[in-house]
Every structure is written in structure tokens, then in C-alpha cells.
Amino acid sequence: MNKLLKAEPNQTAQPIGATAQIVIDTLFARIKAEEYPLDTRLPSERTLASDLGVARNTVREALDVLEAQNVIRRRAGSGSFVTYRSSPPEIAPDNSVAKDMSPLDHLVVRGILEPEMVRLAVINMTPRQLGQLAETLSRIEAVQTDVDRFIDLEEQLYMQIAKGTGNPLLASCYRLTIDTYRASFRTKLRRRNLTPKRIQDYQKRFNTLFNAIGSRDVASAVEFVKLHLIEEQKLLLQDD
């Protein structure tokens, strides 16, 4: 009996084969779990077929459906890239923590979390996670003036570091700081500060941080994060 793809975005009634459905469900689950994060390239059809134990035409059928659902995008000669984005968090209600949080409050919490987060990431990040971090950094370095794109990728970079700690609770805590930031003052303050020149400066900083993480240099990575937070605090006080 044929099944339908139960993807969240733009669902369409497209009958597909049972084996292809298994491939679709498997790939979609990996994408939702960010095993294949936003904008990353999926393995080749040949690799996926070997990994999943199916024929290449079955993989191709599954990719056709995922593309139709706007879960992936194919680029001729380059492969298939993840375009699926989880639904953004709802704006926090008036009685939430976001209502009472100031930009300085947010920096204080980051000052508590980020040094330890980076320290653990340097120790625990796997080669695969480092590779994903490098891919995100490459996309960050390609941004010139698109502030929204830069913010999304910056958050992705930090969440990859948080997950690289190997501590799910710490990663969840950091996710909360990002969600609260979005719900409170993120749009107004962040967009105003991110000039093209500042974007370039941040790109250099993130490259420095990546090099420290990649070389497993705990002291340099932690020191960098602390200095970066100090610079952001200065910027915040200037705005005030």
C-alpha cells in the first residue's frame, strides 16, 4: 500500500513506493535532527544507496519527493542541499522571561555559558562535527550585506558548538538564550549593529575561533570567547 510523505512543509498528495517512503522518512528524520543541517550538501545518490541498502533509482525517487516538499534543493553538478528549516519559535508571551530580559542580561548569561561551552566543545567535538562547523563558517564568510542570513548562520554556528560539547542540557540552555534573544530585542538591536564592516570583523573572529577549536587549543578558544563578549558589551554600552 502506497504511503504519502508526512513532511511538515507544503504537504502534497504524491503516491510513492514503500521502499522510497522508508528512504524519505529516514532522510527527513536525519534532516530534522540536524544530522544534515540547513544548507549542507547531502551525500551522493550512490553513497545514500549504499548506506540505506537500496537502489539508486529509489534514492532518486525519494529525493524527487523531498525536493517537491521544499526539504532539499538540487543544484546541477553540485548535488542536493538541505533547505528545510524547523518552524521558528513563537514570540514569547508578555509574561515570559523575554519581557524582563535586557540586552545586558543576555550578555551576562552568555558570559556564564559560552566559555564553558567552548571549552567542552574543544575537547569533545568529533571530526564530523568539526567538518560541519567548517561548512557553516564557509557560508558565513560568503555573506556580505545580508543581515538576516548572517544572524541565522551565526546562531547555527553557536548551536553546533553547543551540541559539540556532548552535553544535551548545556545545548538546551544555550538554545533558550537564542530563543529569548529573538523574542526580546534581537531584531532591532542586532540589525542596527551589523554593518557590512562589522560583518567582516565578525567573520574574522569566527575564523579565529574555529582555528582554536580545530587545533584543540582550549586556552586560546576560551580566551577568544571572553574577549569577544567584552567587545560585544562595549558595543552595547555605546548603543545605550
Whichever domain contains 24, its CATH number is 1.10.10.10
Say yes or no: 30 and 113 in one domain: no
Task: Please enumerate in sequence order all residues whose Cβ is within 8 A of that of 220, keeping only pairs 6 or more positions apart, or say none.
Answer: 212
Is residue 48 pLDDT above 90, yes or no? yes
Over residues 69-90, the mean pLDDT reads: 79
Is residue 210 situated within a structural domain?
A: yes
Domain assignment present for 1: no
* pLDDT higher at 24 or 182: 24
Q: Kindly state whether residues 215 and 101 are assigned to the same domain.
A: yes
- Lowest-confidence region among 50-64, 82-96, 121-135: 82-96
pLDDT at 97 over 90: no
189 and 138, same structural domain? yes
Distance CA 152, CA 91 (A): 16
pLDDT for 10 equals 43
> Do residue 131 and residue 72 come from a single domain?
no
Structural domain including 73 reads: 18-82
Q: Is the pLDDT of residue 1 over 50?
A: no
- Whether residues 43 and 131 share a domain: the answer is no
74 and 190 share a domain? Answer: no
Q: Are residues 53 and 157 in the same domain?
A: no
pLDDT of residue 87: 55
pLDDT for position 137: 93
Residue 57 in this model has a pLDDT that exceeds 70: yes
> Domain check: are 146 and 112 in the same one?
yes
- pLDDT at 206 exceeding the cut of 70: yes
Residues 122 and 48 reside in one and the same domain: no
Number of separate domains in the chain: 2
User: Residue 162's domain is classified under what CATH number?
Assistant: 1.20.120.530
| Structure-model confidence comparison of residues 77 and 100, the more confident one | 77
Do 128 and 44 reside in the same domain of the chain? Answer: no
- 75 bridge partner residues: 79
- Choose one of 48, 82, 116: the last residue of a domain: 82
Distance CA 143, CA 148 (A): 10
Beta-carbon neighbour count of residue 81 at 10 Å?
A: 15
Q: Quick one: average pLDDT of 155-165? A: 93
Secondary structure class of 7 (helix, strand, coil): coil
24 and 133 both lie in a single domain:
no
